[in-house]
Structure 1
Amino acid sequence: MATLSYVNVFARDVVALSGFYQKVFGFAEIEAIRSPIFRGLDTGKSCLGFNAPDAYELLGLADQAETRGIKFLLNIDVDSQADVDLRVPLALEAGATLIKAPYTTYYNWYQAVLLDPEGNVFRINFML
Structure 2
Amino acid sequence: MSTVPSRLSVVTLGARDIGTLRSFYRSLGWPEVPASDDGWSAFLLGGVLFALYPLPELAAEAAPGMPEPAAGWSGVTLACNVDSREEVDTAFAAAVEAGATVVAEPTDRPWGGRSGYLADPEGNRWEIAWAGTARFDERGALLSFG
TM-score bracket, shorter-length normalisation:
0.3 to 0.5
Higher relative contact order (CA 8 A, sep 6+): 1
Whichever of the two has the greater Rg, that structure is: 2
Q: Report the TM-score when normalising by structure 2.
A: 0.42
